[in-house]
Structure 1
Amino acid sequence: DGTGHHLSAAAIVGHDGSIWAQSSNFPKCQPKEITDIMKDFDEPGHLAPTGLHLGGAKFMVIQGEPGAVIRGKKGSGGVTIKKTAQALVFGIYEEP
């Protein structure tokens, strides 16, 4: 991947919050977490004041691509979320 980060968990989640696929260690998300993420895609910056929450963990929102990609940072790891026409693709990474 060129940056020293390695994917530790991943999921594909429908816009309605339904899990389409996930790795065994992907955190259990609350409906409000997915709703807030979807709102940030519609209103970029929505998550900035409170942070991005995923499975109860809080990530600091860092620059992504408004309406297309949300990035969050937590310690030496983080999360990248890509919005497609029907789903969200999550990748959680940790620095080795």
Structure 2
Amino acid sequence: MSWQTYVDENLLNTGKVKKAAIFSVDGSLWATSTNFNIGGAEVQKLVAAFTDSGDIATNGLYLEGTRFVFLKKPEDHVIYARHGANGVTCVKTNKAVLVGYYDEGIQAGDCNGVVENLANYLISTNYVSFKTFSCNIS
């Protein structure tokens, strides 16, 4: 299955994710929805936040030029952020970063579940796994 298929079928087609992208941990774009324009410095800052979330906790997380308020990092590999009624769920494995964006009308928990479940599926296939720990995301 291609990375684009994961974005289209496993994230967008659920109706629980409005926009989505999958990047390598070095910031290279693997797949994205056609209306999600993130990359470069924004992705590098996101990847760095998995190691040290201090900067985004203070200054916010910028995606598509919009400032998202950092909500929490419940695990070392998950970041939640919000901008008004919109928000993002970001999950990092040792090789990939998955980003799911939700807007008004989509519950944050629904988006969280879809993105985290896809990360768990990818881990179960032994293609991507958590780098320094193991956990069960529900």
TM-score (norm: length of structure 1): 0.85
Letter in 2 for 1:16: D
More helix by share: 2
Write out the 4+ residue segments of structure 1 that deviate beyond 4 Å after TM superposition. Answer: none
Runs of 5+ consecutive residues of structure 2 not aligned to the other structure:
1-14, 106-138
Secondary structure of 1:25's counterpart equals coil
Aligned partner of 1:51 in structure 2 is 60
What is the alpha-carbon distance in structure 1 between the residues aligned to residue 24 and residue 42 of structure 2? 13
Q: Percent identity?
A: 35
CA distance in 1: counterparts of 2:87 and 2:73, whole angstroms? 12
What amino acid is aligned across from residue 7 of structure 1 in structure 2? V
Instruction: Give 1:34 deviation, angstroms.
Output: 1.5
Hey, what does 1:89 align to over in structure 2?
A: 98
Q: What is the match of residue 47 of structure 2?
A: 38
Preserved CA contact (<8 Å) 1:9 1:26 = yes
Q: Partners of 1:57 and 1:21 in 2: how far apart?
A: 21
* 1:7 counterpart residue number: 17
CA radius of gyration, larger in: 2
2:37 partner letter: P
Which of structures 1 and 2 has the larger relative contact order (alpha carbons within 8 angstroms, sep 6+)?
1
CA RMSD across the alignment? 1.5
The answer on whether the counterparts of 1:52 and 1:59 sit within 8 Å (CA) in structure 2 is: yes
Output the TM-score relative to the length of structure 2.
Answer: 0.61
The structural deviation recorded for 1:44 is: 2.9
Deviation (angstroms), 1:39 = 1.5
Task: Count residues in correspondence.
Answer: 91
Decide which structure has greater strand share. Answer: 1
